[in-house]
Structures are given as C-alpha cells and as structure tokens.
Amino acid sequence: MSARTKARKRALDILYVADLREIPIPQALATEAERAANEPAREASWLYAREIVDGVIDNRAEIDELIETYAQGWTLARMPIVDRAILRIGVWELLYNPQVPTGVAISEAVEAATSLSTDDSAGFVNGLLAKIAQTTARDEADASAERAGE
C-alpha cells in the first residue's frame, strides 16, 4: 500500500471519528496529531493525511454543497458516515490537489468504498465523483475559453 493510500485511510479515520462522535474535525485532527507525534515511522502518511483533513476543513462548505448537488436525492445526512468521509476526501483531491490525477482520486475513493462500506457504495461514489470531475473540468474549460476570448 502506497504512502498516499495510507494517508487517505488515516484522513478517512479522522473524518469518520469526528462525524461519528459528533465532534469538530479540528478536535479529531488534534487527537490524531498527538498520536502521530509518538509514531515517527508513520510520518510519511501523516503529512498527507493532515493536508487532506486541513483541506476538507478549509473547503467543507463547497465540498458538501457539491456532494449534495450531484447526489441526486441523497442528502449528506442520509449517507453512511464512511461514504461522507470518502466523498469529502475524493472531492477535495479532485478540486484542490492538482498533484492527484482525476482517475487516481476516483479510483482510491471507489476502492475505499468497496472495502469499507455497503455493496452499493462503490458505484455511488464512482458515479458521484465522476460527475463532479466532469462538471468542474467543463467549468474550468469554459472559464479558460472566456479568458482567451477577452
């Protein structure tokens, strides 16, 4: 398992715990940071996990709005907690981390849903993230075309 895959799993754990325990994400992050300080062998995965969680915290309103917009009949509250966490990580990687190719972000999210959630979750995560990726790519292309035409 790659360091980034491990980091995604750690980020997922943090988001999941915060949601399950109904505590603020920064509080769950602080708890994990204390644990990470005592486990230097896991530092490589910790740095990217923290980047993901910080990114979700900083952009949560937009991330959640996109998820609800494209979830077609599903509210965030109706989704399994693990699916919410997986989708938040996937959307953050799609929109805010240009180092992660779209296909990798979606594939990693689908793999997490396959191994950690319901039988229907992988297809749901795949379809939702693909739609968000397609729509945001189209929006970026439209904006670039408008700038080029000015």
Q: What is the pLDDT of residues 5-63, one digit of tens each?
A: 999 999 999 999 999 999 999 999 999 998 888 887 777 789 999 999 999 999 999 99
Cα(114)–Cα(108) distance, integer angstroms:
10
Q: Map residue 99 onto helix, strand or coil.
A: coil
pTM for the whole thing?
Answer: 0.90
Cα(89)–Cα(125) distance, integer angstroms:
11
What was the pLDDT predicted at 35? 85
CATH code for the domain of 49:
1.10.940.10
Q: Which two tokens stand for residue 135?
A: 């729509």
Q: Are 122 and 86 in contact (CB under 8 A)?
A: no
Q: What is the pLDDT of residues 63-93, one digit of tens each?
A: 999 999 999 888 999 999 999 999 999 999 9
Count of structural domains, the chain: 1
**Those residues with Cβ within 8 angstroms of residue 114's Cβ, 6 or more apart along the chain or in another chain:** 121, 122
**Among candidate residues 131, 135, 3, 20, the one with its CA nearest the CA of residue 83:** 20
**Among candidate residues 80, 66, 67, the one with its CA nearest the CA of residue 120:** 80
Residue-averaged pLDDT of the chain: 91
For residue 27, the Cα-to-chain-centroid distance in whole angstroms is 18
Burial track 80-105 (b if 16+ CB lie within 10 A, e otherwise): bebbbbbbbbbbbbbbbeeebebeeb
Q: What is the pLDDT of residues 104-130, one digit of tens each?
A: 999 999 999 999 999 999 999 999 999
**Which domain does 54 fall in, by range?**
3-149
**Among candidate residues 114, 129, 93, the one with its CA nearest the CA of residue 7:** 93
